Amino acid sequence: MATDTGLRTAGDPQGMLDLVRRLPEVCRRAWALGADVALSGEPPAAIVAIGMGGSGIGGDLLRTLLLDDVSIPVVVVKEYRLPAFVDAKTLVFVCSYSGNTEETLTAYAEAARRGATCVAITSGGTLRERAQANGHQTVIVPAGIPPRAALPYLFLPMVSALSRNGVTRVLDEEAAEAADVLAGILDDAELDAPSNESRRLAAAFLHRIPVIYSATPFLEPAAQRWKDQLNENAKTFAVWNTFPELNHNETVGWGLDADLAARLAVVVLHDGREAERLRRRVEITRDLAFARAGSVDEVTTRGTGALARLLSVIAVGDLASVYLALLRGVDPTPVAVIEELKKRLSES
- List residues near ligand F6R by CB under 6 A: 52-55, 96-98, 101, 104, 146-148, 232, 335, 338
- Is 248 among the residues known to form the active site? yes
Closest CB to ligand F6R among residues 24, 56: 56
Closest CB to ligand F6R among residues 100, 304: 100
Minimum CB distance to ligand F6R, residue 119 (Å): 15
- Is 78 among the residues known to form the active site? no
Closest CB to ligand F6R among residues 210, 294: 210
Closest CB to ligand F6R among residues 90, 98: 98
Catalytic residue among 103, 177, 220, 232: 232
- CA–CA distance, 344 with 81 (Å, rounded to integer): 21
- Is 207 among the residues known to form the active site? no
Minimum CB distance to ligand F6R, residue 86 (Å): 19
Sheet of strand 264-270: strand arrangement: 239-242, 209-214, 264-270, 295-300
Q: Give me the residue whose beta carbon is nearest to ligand F6R.
A: 53
Catalytic residue among 89, 102, 110, 342: 342
Minimum CB distance to ligand F6R, residue 93 (Å): 13
DSSP result, 208-275: SEEEEEESSGGGHHHHHHHHHHHHHHH----EEEETTGGGGTHHHHTTS-HHHHTTEEEEEEE-TT--
235: left (phi over 0), alpha (psi -120 to 50) or beta: left
Catalytic residue among 42, 248, 276, 347: 248
Minimum CB distance to ligand F6R, residue 286 (Å): 32
Residues identified as active-site: 232, 248, 342
